[in-house]
């Protein structure tokens, strides 16, 4: 006789397979699909969302979960059952009509954004965004009523289980207490360290080949993934078929290069999740912030370190051409340059948290109903002036329209970027304790010991443990922002 747990496992395997199709169709929509396919694709994805919702919320699932609780399960099965129940509880809070409406509104808003952003068309964008916000507030209200807490916390919990805005306020408040002064010190220090900018053009194909070469160095499995182009870099697909994207600018190559390194961090995590549990919730990445810790570990802790930059410099010269700007010391200054700018995805690691905190503060007010969509541009400019001293008035494309996250209602996602940066710094500190010769390994391009450590401590566990427990196992303590501050001070102020 098939046990309740086995029946649930079969149901979640089916959900995973439909999720696979949705992931690849979503990737195609952002990379390959002709513009005329937007409406039909959005409707198809919405239909798939409804189907998955119906499978998950079928009335039999609750009974199976209750029955499985009484069965004899091992530790991994118990962890999987916990994740199953969490997914079921989250899904049963929403009617299928809301799931479908939110999917369609998100697809419409995202697709229109591709043309509206280059055109600086805030009014057109705002029209679509209002519907996304309306539906997101409706979702947040339903979740908050069931789980307690605020509407924003209910959405935040979808991306970072257990995290609350109160905890974020403490973490970000501490960050804001020392980051502006550190930023000023570093900018003043670097003013006396002139940097020569590389002179283009840099052919797109040469940039692509450089990216592929770096992906190989970082252990990307090309038999289970690929690199493409999109308007906004991302990592998608499924562990067996990971899709990463970047975007190219022929006038400069560092953005694409670092974008590829960043997305490869996401991809390595996906490709190394526990295959023995594939198709089950416990085999998924632990959380969005943990996911981001992997990309930021790869880009910031490893990718922008002096040792790594020295190792890859010959490859950079091979593909980008030999010029004075690519002499060793100048190249390192280029990639460690701190220069506050308007664009989050191009921001240095000192400025980046300011971009995240700005978005967090705005989206929380938006979901809680304390501001409306029309209020976003003025508030954005006010906070950008306060945090980075930059003016975005009238420049919507490089201001409040630059990101893709709000187009599909991903409110609660932005804080995970800076949480991920904190986790990445903490992981690297623990890795340095475990690998005393880590600097030499990186300089020589012998990166497998680093990846073995990450496999042992993060990748292989999937969602088996709560985030705090996972990091206590890996680093000896739960999240401690001290390591992030120490990392920044050592990299940018140490002689």
- Span 29-62, pLDDT tens digits: 989 999 899 889 989 998 999 899 999 999 999 9
The conformation of residue 196, written as its DSSP 8-state character, comes to: P
Say what the pTM is: 0.91
Judgement on whether residues 84 and 195 belong to the same structural domain of the protein: no
DSSP string, 71-132: S---HHHHHHHHHHHHHHHHHHTS-HHHHHHHHHHHHHHHHHHHHHTTTT-HHHHHHHHHHH
| 100 assigned to active site | no
E strands, 172-269, where? 225-229, 235-238, 241-246
The residue-averaged pLDDT of 65-93 equals 96
pLDDT value, residue 478 = 87
Judgement on whether residues 173 and 263 belong to the same structural domain of the protein: yes
Task: Tell me what the pLDDT averaged over the chain comes to.
Answer: 95
Share of the chain above pLDDT 70, in %: 100
pLDDT value, residue 135 = 97
Whether residue 233 is predicted with pLDDT greater than 90 in this model: the reply is no
Judgement on whether residues 112 and 202 belong to the same structural domain of the protein: no
Share of the chain above pLDDT 90, in %: 92
The conformation of residue 405, written as its DSSP 8-state character, comes to: G
Judgement on whether residues 112 and 232 belong to the same structural domain of the protein: no
Judgement on whether residues 233 and 359 belong to the same structural domain of the protein: yes
Judgement on whether residues 145 and 167 belong to the same structural domain of the protein: no
The residue-averaged pLDDT of 225-236 equals 91
CATH of the domain at 480: 1.10.1370.30
Judgement on whether residues 80 and 194 belong to the same structural domain of the protein: no
Query: Of 149, 181, 216, which residue constitutes the final position of a domain?
Result: 149
131, 160, 263, 361: the catalytic one is 263
How far apart CA 368 and CA 282 sit, in angstroms, is: 32
List the domain range (segments joined by +) for residue 95.
4-149
Q: Which of 122, 47, 49, 110 is nearest to 405 (CA)?
A: 110
Which pLDDT band, with edges at 50, 70 and 90, does 495 fall under? low
From the number of C-beta atoms within 10 Å of its C-beta (0-12, 13-18, 19+), residue 486 rates as middle
- The 3-state DSSP composition of the chain as helix, strand, coil percent (nearest 5) reads 70, 5, 25
The residue-averaged pLDDT of 224-241 equals 93
Query: Of 149, 177, 195, which residue constitutes the final position of a domain?
Result: 149
How far apart CA 462 and CA 275 sit, in angstroms, is: 10
Judgement on whether residues 94 and 139 belong to the same structural domain of the protein: yes
Bridge partners (DSSP) of residue 243 are: 226, 236
Q: Which two tokens stand for residue 216?
A: 């190989």
Which pLDDT band, with edges at 50, 70 and 90, does 394 fall under? very high
Judgement on whether residues 143 and 162 belong to the same structural domain of the protein: no
Query: Of 149, 177, 203, which residue constitutes the final position of a domain?
Result: 149
Judgement on whether residues 186 and 303 belong to the same structural domain of the protein: yes
- Cβ atoms 340, 351 nearer than 8 A: yes
pLDDT value, residue 349 = 93
Whether residue 271 is predicted with pLDDT greater than 70 in this model: the reply is yes
Q: Which of 495, 490, 494, 493 is nearest to 301 (CA)?
A: 490
Judgement on whether residues 183 and 84 belong to the same structural domain of the protein: no
Which tens digits make up the pLDDT trace of 345-361? 889 999 999 999 999 99
pLDDT value, residue 400 = 96
Rounded to 5 degrees, φ, ψ at 470 are -60, -45
Judgement on whether residues 27 and 160 belong to the same structural domain of the protein: no
Give the count of domains, the chain.
Answer: 2
């Amino acid at each position: 006789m098939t046990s309740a747990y086995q029946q649930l496992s079969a149901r979640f395997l089916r959900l995973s397979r439909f999720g696979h199709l949705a992931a690849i169709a979503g990737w195609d929509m952002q990379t390959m699909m002709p513009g005329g396919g937007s409406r039909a694709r959005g409707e198809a994805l919405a239909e798939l969302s409804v189907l998955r919702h119906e499978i998950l919320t079928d009335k039999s699932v609750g009974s199976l979960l209750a029955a499985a609780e009484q069965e004899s399960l091992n530790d991994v099965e118990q962890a999987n059952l916990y994740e199953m129940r969490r997914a079921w509880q989250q899904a049963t809070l929403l009617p299928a009509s809301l799931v479908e409406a939110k999917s369609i509104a998100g697809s419409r808003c995202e697709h229109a954004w591709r043309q509206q952003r280059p055109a600086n068309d805030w009014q057109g964008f705002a029209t679509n965004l209002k519907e996304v916000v309306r539906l997101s507030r409706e979702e947040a209200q339903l979740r908050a009523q069931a789980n307690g807490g605020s509407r924003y916390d209910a959405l935040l919990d979808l991306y970072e289980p257990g995290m609350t805005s109160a905890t974020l306020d403490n973490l970000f408040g501490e960050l804001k207490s020392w980051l502006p002064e550190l930023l000023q010190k570093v900018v003043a220090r670097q003013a006396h360290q002139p940097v020569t900018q590389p002179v283009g053009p840099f052919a797109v194909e040469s940039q692509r080949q450089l990216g592929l070469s770096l992906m190989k160095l970082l252990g990307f499995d090309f038999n289970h993934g690929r690199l493409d182009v999109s308007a906004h870099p991302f990592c998608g697909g499924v562990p067996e078929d990971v899709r990463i994207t970047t975007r190219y600018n022929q006038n400069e190559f560092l953005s694409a290069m670092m974008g590829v390194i960043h997305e490869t961090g996401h991809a390595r995590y996906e490709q190394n999740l526990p295959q023995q549990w594939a198709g089950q919730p416990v085999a998924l990445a632990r959380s969005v912030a943990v996911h981001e810790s992997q990309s930021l570990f790869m880009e910031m802790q490893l990718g922008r370190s002096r040792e790594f930059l020295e190792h890859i410099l010959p490859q950079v010269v091979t593909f980008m051409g030999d010029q004075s700007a690519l002499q060793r010391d100048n190249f390192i200054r280029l990639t460690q340059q701190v220069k506050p700018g308007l664009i989050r995805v191009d921001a240095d690691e000192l400025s980046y948290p300011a971009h995240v905190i700005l978005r967090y503060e705005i989206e929380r007010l938006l979901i809680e109903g304390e501001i409306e969509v029309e209020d976003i541009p003025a508030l954005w400019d006010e906070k950008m002036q306060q945090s980075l001293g930059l003016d975005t008035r009238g420049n919507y494309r490089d201001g409040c329209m630059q990101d893709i996250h709000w187009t599909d209602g991903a409110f609660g996602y932005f804080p995970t970027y800076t949480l991920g940066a904190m986790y990445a710094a903490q992981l690297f500190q623990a890795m340095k304790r475990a690998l005393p010769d880590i600097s030499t390994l990186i300089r020589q391009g012998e990166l497998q010991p680093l990846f073995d450590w990450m496999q042992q401590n993060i990748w292989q566990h999937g969602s088996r443990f709560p985030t705090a427990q996972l990091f206590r196992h890996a680093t000896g303590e739960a999240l401690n922002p001290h390591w992030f501050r120490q990392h920044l001070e050592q990299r940018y102020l140490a002689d």
